[in-house]
Structure 1
């Protein structure tokens, strides 16, 4: 027994006798044309095209081939639905998006169905978050099918494409998520960013996947891009064609693009798996229901209608394709606003092509009088009506391709009156946008449009010809405003229509945000930027709105809620605030927050916890989370939990890279608690003690480690020296810090300066000795080139030892005074760059100290003597041997003398001879002789 016939290209079973079918004549014509080329593959491809069309049309389940956002597909769909009245509509769309379709009646198109996941399970962690969008426009066949199914009683709508989970299951693990799909390539602005970086899933992706073929079509079609070619040679001829012609042409185009694509690519495998998936789901539904295939309609892309997989059709192979289970990833679903430009950017269409398609759809409806299907606001199903008798069985398939391919179409292009109106309107619009255009420009645009159409072999100008003519005639040298002429033409021909998600279709979090901001008295669903003024003292009821706005500021993009007046920092609360709100424009971000929680506070709490418990979390990030919890959430439970986590992270860190950030945030939190709380929280005390021990342990290593910069070492010393008194009161040992400093032996000049500063602060290095060492550095010609690094270390030492400011000014002044010009001039650039790179934030402190040290006027500078150059103060004269009245006073009050001597650390040594009562003890005598003026003054006051 012989097997079934196979396809000449793919090897798939055919089982069709095309030569005896309605397309036999067309097949012979194409084969005859192929013989002229003398190429076997050409004949095989042309014969295969006819076979694919015949196979799709013979399928018992009617296949409706579509192209994404195609007005001809939409008009053909509306006509066919009214004629056939199918009971089941199978739609090529992710099957798990089905519940979202019931909410489309609350939206203004275009909108996008979105599936979103942040907590992923079964996918690479670097892919998160995962997002899939499927945009819906009114001028599309899928919207007509959805509207028909949702508004007609007794009609079932079944989505049969792979789930969003399978979209990412089929992605290569070594590629970024969505690399094989449309991933939002294009410019990023307010409108094109509506879909973000989500993966786009569309119905009817009909575009050559063979670059040479697309280039050939664009060249010979005399067009600039694919969207223009498709509109000129497919949309316009098919928009008013009968259903059979439309169906055969679309399958033919899908077969052509399919057979000319490169074999063996990953995209080919995904396409075939999608087709197996969809036919498997269709057969499962038919077997589990009583649906009659004759009363069903399968809506899919024309590319998939020409499928050659073994599972194709109701009688295709069964059991050969297994649908894998979904992963444990938790998917969230919602509707987000979309726009024509967002769709164009995501799917690689030319700017303005979707708007032109919408205009073509509107004109086709007006010309034909066809009534499309639409979802009414607030009404999902129409009232039950008497059932119409079933449609008569379709007539036998007739060859409509031969006439379509051999007859020049008469497209309904732009007529003279419409072209004239466009020419006048574009001049008016250009003048409003700053162009010096006139009536002569309108005439030039009109005539140039006709000229371009003639050059390109077109009977009438297309919108693209008009756009080129307008750019040529009006946009001369520069664009005076924000919009160029090409953009103005897009606005004129239909504009960038932006959709909106209705209140009832929003997730609970988005509705909660709108409800809580209602006291502001603004229509926040508008896409304009609105100014909100909050006088929180005069209107205390607006304070919850302020709190909510600050939380949104933390969670959503900066342009959604932007404070103009007011701030929120620890210890501060604004009296008046002013906000620029663009919530309607950023509704997508608000909707995506709804996937994470019921309120924005819950979402923020979850994010803070997730941040501090992440594998790469640091103590600085945990302190930032603590600060955010105080500012935006309040309460002690979450703050204490995050603070305890900060202690754990700090104790576990083995590097000090984040020491400056830890110091800055720890100081701010300590100041806040000391000003607002009677005592420090337990976690804060633990953080100080743990940080003191942690940094003491790492200090000797940090001084010698080349990977640790001086900035980090300075921050460690700032923590240890600045919080030492608090740490000692909490039980830490000062000896630990002294040992850590004594065990440090740095070699880098800036770290050496930091060590000297720390030793001076601890009393291990006298200030005079430090000054002497600095003088030696300046006197050593071998060290002078690296002296800026020493100076950088001293400047950074002002963080832990602010008392060194005067010494740093002195050292810098001596350098400028002593170094000769040949050494000083090459040395200055290095000094400036070193201070800028390593100690920029401490330079203002140094400048303030210099302002206090140097004279304020030019006249005073002539007589000014630097404090470090002033002569030493002469010693006080020696006091007399006898202390005089003061001695008698001290002898008369021995108890007081003993107490003062004890406070001054002097042992009271009174003589045993009673005859010497006029003499004081030797220790007290020293006190009197050192301070004779003070003792005599006290004696005088006491008479």
Structure 2
């Protein structure tokens, strides 16, 4: 706990004089009597009074607020109409000021946003950085903004630290990590994102994430930072969560209070939470630095403009109004504290939609609390509690405020602060709660409406349930010590009486109550307030009837054959579906892949409702095509990029962009990354994607790009170099080695035509000496593919494995290697079926049965994608019917028929006829050559129907020496002619 009591003695106004002297002495006496003697409690209580006195004595009027507080907004509207200040200083990031005028074109709630993707001056890995500051109609800051922008001669000055300084202070970690969302200080002025109380369900969960992971900044975070204090307040206040406690004990009493009372109570609460805040963290020191920053900016502005402090107002959170830093106030001495320079980071600014549930999720508020605050604000304004300010042209949501009558102005003047400081705290703290009358008509309306709404959502509610909710609400309010039922009492009563034990539909009763009390309003950014990219998207999608004001999901049907002019819209939708998250543009039917394009498409488009992703896309570029190209280039050039990443970027560039130059640039990057890789972890992905790209280019009947040829040659050399080491590296899987071989074998012809040497692959295979069974089988398959090992030799090796009982348990690993080999060597599919069938046939049951689960799990783990290929081959090999199995003989087991040598064919033609007609001459030549034998008998091959005895050797001799036979025939023919 902070030892704020020790500092209280040094605060101004600690004597018994002044407007708060009597209150200070009463609190000291009560605390001393309660504690049984002097201690820290009296000092804390009196210090709180000192903080109030100090804030109210400041020359510059300080207006303390709490975020999204109707009481603060009401008091702000009244005070602004009374004082009419010329300068309004406000606690909000100073560099967000140019966005405020764009609020005219929006429907609240929206959030001011600053975003930076490329960081310069921040730790590595800290980005991207994003800050949001939500604005609602029920907030005091909106009243101040509307007053300043709509009143001539009024200047609005934002004095809080810039977004750049915010992250400079929030990112001091030496490891460069981004601020932790669980750190209470990470959300600046706002509380951290947290869940609601146990059993609380945030309404409209789909809109609760509108802020994403952005750091939230709110004007006036006011919540105990001492967990035990909050628990104590909730327990004794008989409430479940902080939002309900604040509504009962602060909002309702201050809604109609005078300005002095409001101001003093808010500073008192801020002082209490500040003095009881833990002092063992950096958050308090950051808060103090923020206060130094704001007061430094205020003094510098007054010195530069020469303004009169009496005509100025400083709007800040009540926590900062009770500041005790030396730089507090216009008369503070110079302490030498200076504001450091900003980094070189370029920040992008804009507006994004917000919602009540998103604000609740961002700042740890109970579900429905912002909706209840909005309902309270509208009720007070309708009753004439104040005349609110509104920006001209501001679009309002359902039930928007702003209908207050002129009588509110009279009340505001009556409640205005007098010239001097008067003690209003004593009266406020000693007075009992006002006994407000029960508004039966309002409560009855709630009860009837909730029953009607419940019936529409599947509940079996009736009039009796409405009566029960009415009576239970009054009962709960009495138990909790409330003068009249609050929306929280009504909500609990409705859950008890209607929901009971089951929820028939998607919405529970708590959600229905939130809808009844105002619902989860989702803001909308107007067309003119959007970045150029978002406006360009809506302009290009105008032929489809898609605009920023369409708040529903629109089903778009495209028939590109009938309406070819819609082709640009279709291309834009595909690009948006690739870039946007959250399903704002979602294809229902149709596809866009390499070489494929649907002619009929249907889309679900909700760009008007889900504006945030599109608006944030505008921070990255001017057009969708530019952003997509930047993202693809960033993914291919990031430090951890691989060849597979670059190939994926090439696929997207071909599908979504019509830019061959950019595709060639990505291809060159893919070649560079492949040559630089030292591992083969991505080899399967590289092979799959490159095969698909080759098929696309070849199907287009066009020449391959130069980068494809370079990729093949670089990959061939790269994988040949890494192949021996991958076979022996135990960290390299079988799938990776099989993918390398697949690249080498399937692209071998192309690589050789481009100048690669096959000897390099043969040497790589020879140098590979794996030990793992699966890799051994893979190596055998590679050797068979290269022709180094015959199919018979592979059969012999597998037979040796099955004959060795020590190797049989590991045989599934060999099989998985063979199955993986089907990718680089698909011709081995029959052999793999043969090996597996042989194993099932030869192994005995006592070995085969324990072996089967291992085989199945091994194939599923290591060769799952190749098992279908194996099954198809088995289907072609085995018989299709069961009766045929008994008579079926495997093709590898059938004995081949003996091959008989064919008899030499007798020569035919004119030469053969001449020799057959002169057998004596032939016999004489044969005798000279030393050949004995006769002519074939009639009916024998080569014989005549009737002729001399056969002489097979002579016939064979003539067949072997046709040139000599032809020369002899010419001589015989010449001699016959001369005769």
Tell me, yes or no, whether TM beats 0.5: yes
Residue number among 9, 20, 23 corresponding to 2:20 in the alignment: 23
Judged with a 3 Å threshold, the aligned counterparts in structure 2 of structure 1 residues 922 and 591 are, in CA distance, closer, same or farther, namely farther
Does residue 1:132 correspond to 2:128, yes or no? Answer: no
Kindly indicate whether the alpha-carbon contact (under 8 Å) linking 1:722 and 1:800 is maintained by their aligned counterparts in 2.
yes
Displacement of 1:7 in angstroms is 7.5
Shift of 1:580: 1.1
Deviates more, 1:368-377 or 1:747-756: 368-377
- Which residue of the partner structure matches residue 757 of structure 1? 781
Match status 1:46 vs 2:45: yes
- Counterpart of 1:696 in 2: which secondary structure? helix
> In structure 2, which of residues 889, 901, 908 is the aligned counterpart of residue 878 of structure 1?
901
CA distance in 1, matches of 2:961, 2:273: 113
CA 1:886–1:41 in structure 2 vs 1: closer, same or farther (change >3 Å)? farther
Aligned mate of 2:958, from 919, 924, 928: 919
Q: 1:556 aligns with which of 564, 575, 580?
A: 580
Look up the match of 1:479.
503
Which of these residues, 242, 257, 265, is aligned with residue 226 of structure 1?
242
Compare 725-734 and 262-271 and name the one that shifted more: 262-271
How far the C-alpha of 1:759 sits from its partner, in A, is 0.6
What is aligned with 1:895?
Answer: none
Q: Which shows bigger deviation, 434-443 or 14-23?
A: 14-23
C-alpha deviation, 1:290, in angstroms: 2.6
* Uncovered stretches (5+) of structure 1, i.e. residues with no partner: 1-5, 380-387, 893-914, 925-943
Measure how far apart 1:602 and its partner are: 0.4
Which moved further from structure 2: 654-663 or 776-785? 776-785
- The Cα of 1:917 is off from its aligned counterpart by 10
Query: Could you tell me how far 1:16 is from its partner in structure 2?
Result: 2.7
Offset at residue 393 of structure 1 (A) = 9.1
Q: CA separation in 2, counterparts of 1:525 and 1:119?
A: 32
Aligned residues of 1:117 and 1:330 also touching (Cα < 8 A): yes
| 1:867 lines up with 2:866 in the alignment | no
Q: 1:191 to 1:708 in 2, by over 3 A?
A: same
Shift of 1:127: 1.9
- Equivalent residue number for residue 101 of structure 2: 102
Per the TM alignment, residue 643 of structure 1 is displaced from its structure 2 partner at its CA by 0.7
Distance 1:330 1:882 in 2: 93
Q: Tell me if structure 1 keeps the 8 A contact 2:115–2:348.
A: yes
Shift of 1:12: 8.6
- Alpha-carbon distance in 2 for matches of 1:12, 1:408: 31
Match of 1:801 in 2: 825
2:559 — aligned with what? 535
In 2, are the aligned partners of 1:531 and 1:581 still within 8 Å (CA)?
Answer: yes
SS in 2 for 1:125: coil
Q: How far apart are residue 886 of structure 1 and its match?
A: 8.5
Corresponding residue of 1:848: 872
1:200 is displaced (CA, Å) by 0.3
1:579 counterpart SS class = strand
- Cα deviation code 1:548-579 (max 9, x no counterpart): 11111111115111111111111111111111
- SS of equivalent to 2:186: coil
What are the superposed Cα offsets for residues 202-246 of structure 1, whole Å, 9 maximum, x if unpaired?
110000000010000000000000000000100011011111100
How far 1:684 moved relative to its partner? 1.1
Give the corresponding residue for 1:815.
Answer: 839
Partner deviation per Cα, 1:608-666 (whole Å, 9 max, x = no partner): 11111111111110111111111111221111111111111111110000001110111
Equivalent residue pairs, number:
887
Give the equivalent residue in structure 1 for 2:771. Answer: 747
- Give the drift of 1:861: 2.3
Q: Does 1:696 align with 2:727?
A: no
Q: Secondary structure at the match of 2:755?
A: coil
Task: Give the alignment partner of residue 491 of structure 1, picking from 496, 515, 528.
Answer: 515
Match of 2:308 in 1: 292
Cα 1:55/1:868, change in 2 over 3 Å: same
In structure 2, relative to structure 1, the CA distance for the partners of 1:241 and 1:376 (3 Å cut) is: same
SS, match of residue 594 in structure 2: coil
Give the distance between the partners of 1:835 and 1:558, measured in 2 at CA. Answer: 38
Q: Which has the larger radius of gyration?
A: 2
Distance in 1, Cα, partners of 2:178 & 2:292: 25
Superposed, 1:406-417 pairs within 5 Å as 406-410=430-434, 415-417=439-441
Aligned to 1:436: 460
Q: Is this contact kept in 1: 2:291–2:325, CA < 8 A? A: yes
Is the alpha carbon distance of 1:412 and 1:686 closer, same or farther for their aligned partners in structure 2, counting shifts above 3 Å? farther
Paired position in structure 1 for 2:401: none
Work out whether residues 8 and 50 of structure 2, in 8 Å CA contact, stay in contact via their aligned partners in 1: no
| Residue in structure 2 matched with residue 65 of structure 1 by the alignment | 64
Kept after mapping to 2: 8 A contact 1:887/1:919: no
CA distance in 1, matches of 2:455, 2:913: 101
User: CA–CA distance in 2 between the matches of 1:922 and 1:578?
Assistant: 80
What is the CA–CA distance in structure 1 between the aligned matches of 2:468 and 2:867, rounded to whole Å? 64
**1:47-196 superposed matches below 5 A:** 47-171=46-170, 172-173=172-173, 174=175, 176-178=178-180, 179=183, 180-182=185-187, 184-186=193-195, 189-196=205-212
Matches of 2:913 and 2:512, distance apart in 1? 100
Q: Structure 1 residues 922, 659: closer, same or farther in 2, change over 3 A?
A: farther
Which secondary structure state, in structure 1, belongs to the residue aligned with residue 111 of structure 2?
Answer: strand
Aligned residue in 2 for 1:358: 374
Find the counterpart in structure 1 of residue 949 from structure 2. none
Q: Counterparts of 1:413 and 1:883 in 2: how far apart (Å)?
A: 131
The alpha carbon displacement at 1:582 in A equals 1.9
Contact 1:63/1:305 (8 A) holds in 2: yes
Long gaps (5+) in structure 2:
196-201, 396-408, 916-953, 964-979
Q: Which moved more, 1:578-587 or 1:752-761?
A: 578-587
1:185 to partner: Cα distance? 4.1
Cα distance between partner residues in 1 of 2:152 and 2:913:
114
Would you say the 8 A contact 1:890–1:920 is kept in 2? no
**Partners of 2:738 and 2:821 within 8 A in 1:** yes
The answer to whether the 8 Å contact 1:65/1:251 transfers is yes
Please show how residues 361-760 of structure 1 align to structure 2 within 5 Å: 361-377=377-393, 394-410=418-434, 415-523=439-547, 525-760=549-784
Which stretch of the first structure deviates more once superposed, 768-777 or 707-716?
A: 768-777
Distance 1:675 1:600 in 2: 29
Deviation at 1:742, TM superposition (A): 0.7
How far did 1:477 drift?
A: 2.4
Residue number in structure 2 paired with 1:939? none
Which residue of structure 2 aligns with residue 830 of structure 1? 854
For the 8 Å contact 1:222–1:456, the answer to whether it is kept is: yes
| Alpha-carbon distance in structure 1 between the residues aligned to 2:645 and 2:819 | 27
Deviation at 1:838, TM superposition (A): 1.2
Q: Which has the higher mean CA deviation after the structures are superposed, 675-684 or 344-353?
A: 675-684
Distance 2:54 2:525 in 1: 41
Q: Which residue of 1 aligns with 2:216?
A: 200
Distance 1:887 1:520 in 2: 87
The answer (yes or no) to whether the contact 1:620–1:658 under 8 Å persists in 2 is yes
Q: CA separation of 1:891/1:151 partners in 2, compared to 1, >3 Å: closer, same or farther?
A: farther
Matched, 1:32 2:29: yes
Q: 2:210 is paired with a residue of what secondary structure?
A: helix
Q: Whole-Å Cα distance in 2 between the matches of residues 378 and 137 of structure 1?
A: 12
CA distance 1:884–1:504, shift in 2 (3 Å) = same
Aligned to 1:278: 294
Q: How does 1:207-356 map to 2 (within 5 A)?
A: 207-356=223-372
TM-score, structure 1 as length reference: 0.91
**Alpha carbons of 1:378 and 1:371: their partners in 2 closer, same or farther (altered >3 Å)?**
closer
1:525–1:721 distance in 2 versus 1, CA, 3 Å? farther
Shift of 1:17: 5.2
C-alpha distance in structure 2 between counterparts of 1:737 and 1:7, whole Å:
79
Could you say what the CA RMSD is over the residues aligned between the two structures, in angstroms?
2.3
Compare 443-452 and 210-219 and name the one that shifted more: 443-452
1:793-814: CA deviation from partner (whole Å, max 9, x where unpaired): 1111111001111111112222
Deviation string 1:760-802 (CA, Å, 9 cap, x unpaired) is: 1110110111122112222222111111111111111111001
Counterpart in 1 of 2:931? none
Bigger shift: 275-284 or 668-677?
Answer: 668-677
Secondary structure class of the residue paired with 2:892: helix
- Contact 1:882 1:919 (C-alpha < 8 Å) held by counterparts: no
